[in-house]
Amino acid sequence: MKYRELAKTGTKLSSIGLGCMGMSFAYGEPDNVESIATLRNSLELGINFWDTADIYGNGANEELLSQVLKDDRDKVFLATKFGFRQGEKDMYLDGSVEWMKQAVEASLRRLKTDVIDLYYLHRVDPKVPIEETVGAMAELVKEGKVKYIGLSECSAEDLKKAHSIHPITAVQSEYSMITRDVEKEILPLTKEFGIAFVPFAPLVRGLITNSLDIDKISDKDFRHTNPRYIGEYRENNENLAKELSELAQSRYGVTASQLALAWVLAQGDNIIPIPGTKRRKYLLENSKAVDIVLNESDLKVIDDLLIKYPNVGARYTTRESKFLKK
Please tell me the distance from the alpha carbon of residue 287 to that of residue 47, in angstroms, as a whole number: 8
Report, as residue numbers or ranges, the catalytic residues: 56
At residue 79, the 3 state secondary structure works out as: strand
Alpha carbon distance 192, 182 (integer Å): 14
157's enclosing H/E stretch is helix 156-165
Listed as own residue / partner, the contacts of 6-11 with beta carbons closer than 8 Å and 24 or more positions apart are 6/77, 6/118, 6/148, 6/169, 6/170, 6/196, 6/272, 7/148, 7/167, 7/169, 7/170, 7/194, 7/195, 7/196, 7/270, 8/194, 9/148, 9/169, 11/77
Give the chain's length.
326
H or E element, residue 301: helix 296-307
Distance of alpha carbon 22 from alpha carbon 276, whole angstroms? 7
Instruction: Give the helix ranges, DSSP H, for 45-129.
Output: 60-72, 97-111
